[in-house]
């Protein structure tokens, strides 16, 4: 069946690829299938359920390259799980008694959509998988092609998700300014909290890039411009156990020697301990529509700050979160190249009627392909035993 109308949506949290991915899809369709109509649902699945969309006009097609220069998403995001009926009803996205999957399917049919492109992380694409399965089982003729967006780089089996490289680069940039705060107190503890619910890749890569930057600079220790004060002293990720007592002893020696300690902490590290403490105190642990603990409300960084401050004898503690700074950036050159490859393939796959999530398939020799929706999952763990991470930890004194 010839493709006549294509719809785009971006969903979930932001990442430095959304705007560029939208632009890349528009450019590719304009290049090889200029007669295909393109619409964009506003604010992700919320817009799909409520029928809010915008037409991609000739002016937008002509200037789509501008979208590569910006972060965020020009068509807006939201966190909606189509199988969480109660949440969709509560938010006014569907009426009581309606099935969100059916409402979405009917809206796509009403809009004459032949292809739906979803740009998002594991939640977005597992939701797309639910929608694709519903459409297939109910004889709705639609091709669904996803693109993997997540700064955590934690989509199974995608080797590299869009936006993650940029987020790490921006996190390292953020750290340069934040770690200058070591000079604001003679015993300063700085915790750089990096996004990553289940996966420590972003924290590890951010620390690696910052550590490399420190090694490239010229320093003047004689007046106090000491690289040790600007460097990373510990990296904590969910995949590696944290020896609180042992690390406290080691880091106290660092504090005593140079007057500061800089920790790069994945927001998912130690969450089980924080949750256990909250529940023991009789407090309710807040979760989102997908059942995830709301990390911004649990605040692991503050918890670790308290634990280490007492043990290190810190006079001042600063917890700084780079997530919103990092995830809102425009894509860097590394990501732009990957985005271009993926958007080109996504359009080609869509025109072939091939559904799936486009990325380099780790279970198929890193081949760029449309990975089958049933194989897509979130929470891919970072391999903390990879040589580069082991070398990083050893180089900062963390055995």
Residue 1 known to bind ligand: no
Residue with tokens 């569907």: 94
Residue 318 known to bind ligand: no
Sign of the alpha-carbon dihedral angle for 27, 31, 32, 37: positive
Cβ atoms of 260 and 190 within 8 Å: the answer is yes
Residue 70 known to bind ligand: no
Q: Round to whole Å and give the CA distance between 381 and 240.
A: 10
Q: Round to whole Å and give the CA distance between 308 and 175.
A: 19
Catalytic one of 114, 152, 154, 335 = 152
Alpha-carbon distances, residue 123 vs 67, 155, 292, 366 (angstroms): 24, 10, 11, 22
Spatial CA neighbour of 8 closest among 19, 22, 20, 18 = 22
Residue 324 known to bind ligand: yes
Residue 39 known to bind ligand: no
Strand partners, 120: 148
Cβ atoms of 358 and 342 within 8 Å: the answer is yes
Residue 385 known to bind ligand: no
Residue 151 known to bind ligand: yes
Q: Round to whole Å and give the CA distance between 175 and 323.
A: 11
Q: Decide the pairing of beta strands 115-120 and 260-266.
A: unpaired
Residue 181 known to bind ligand: no
Residue 267 known to bind ligand: yes
Alpha-carbon distances, residue 360 vs 10, 345, 368 (angstroms): 20, 11, 4
What would the two tokens of residue 151 be?
């700064």
What would the two tokens of residue 65 be?
């390259």
Residue 3, helix vs strand vs coil: coil
Residue 44 known to bind ligand: no
226 is catalytic: no
Residue 83 known to bind ligand: no
Q: Residues within the annotated binding site for substrate? A: 150-152, 195-197, 267, 324-327
Q: List the catalytic residues.
A: 152
Q: Residues within the annotated binding site? A: 13, 122, 150-152, 195-197, 267, 324-327
Q: Residues within the annotated binding site for Mg(2+)? A: 122
Q: Residues within the annotated binding site for diphosphate? A: 13
């Amino acid at each position: 069946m010839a493709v006549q109308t294509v719809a785009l949506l971006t969903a979930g949290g932001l990442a430095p690829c959304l705007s560029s991915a939208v632009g890349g899809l528009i450019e590719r369709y304009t290049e090889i299938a200029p007669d295909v109509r393109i619409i964009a649902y506003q604010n992700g699945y919320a817009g799909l359920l409520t029928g809010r969309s915008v037409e991609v006009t000739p002016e937008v097609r002509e200037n789509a390259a501008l979208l590569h220069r910006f972060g965020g998403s020009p068509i807006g995001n939201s966190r909606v799980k189509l199988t969480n009926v109660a949440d969709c009803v509560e938010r006014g996205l569907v009426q009581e008694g309606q099935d969100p999957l059916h409402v979405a399917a009917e809206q796509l049919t009403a809009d004459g959509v032949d292809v739906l492109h979803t740009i998002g992380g594991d939640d977005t694409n597992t939701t797309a998988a639910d929608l694709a399965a519903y459409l297939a089982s109910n004889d709705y003729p639609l091709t669904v092609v996803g693109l993997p967006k997540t700064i955590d780089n934690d989509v199974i089996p995608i080797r590299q998700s869009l936006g993650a490289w940029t987020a790490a680069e921006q996190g390292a940039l953020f750290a340069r300014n934040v770690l200058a705060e070591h000079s604001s107190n003679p015993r300063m503890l700085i915790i750089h909290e990096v996004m990553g619910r289940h996966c420590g890749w972003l924290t590890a890569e951010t620390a690696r890039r910052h550590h490399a930057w420190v090694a490239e600079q010229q320093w003047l220790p004689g007046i106090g411009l000491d690289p040790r004060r600007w460097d990373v002293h510990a990296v904590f990720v969910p995949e590696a156990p944290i020896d609180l007592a042992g690390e406290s002893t080691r880091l106290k020696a660092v504090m005593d020697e140079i007057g500061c300690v800089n920790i790069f902490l994945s927001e998912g590290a130690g969450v089980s301990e924080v949750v256990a403490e909250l529940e023991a105190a009789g407090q309710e642990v807040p979760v989102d529509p997908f059942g995830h603990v709301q990390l911004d409300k649990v605040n692991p960084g503050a918890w670790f700050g308290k634990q280490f401050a007492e043990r290190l004898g810190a006079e001042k503690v600063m917890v700084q979160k780079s997530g919103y700074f990092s995830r809102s950036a425009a894509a860097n050159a590394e990501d732009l190249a990957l985005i271009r490859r993926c958007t080109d393939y996504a359009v080609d796959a869509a025109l072939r009627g091939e559904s799936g999530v486009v990325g380099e398939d780790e279970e198929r020799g890193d081949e760029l392909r449309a990975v089958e929706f049933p194989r897509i999952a979130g929470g891919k763990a970072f391999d903390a035993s990879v040589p580069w991470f082991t070398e990083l930890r050893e180089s900062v004194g963390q055995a």
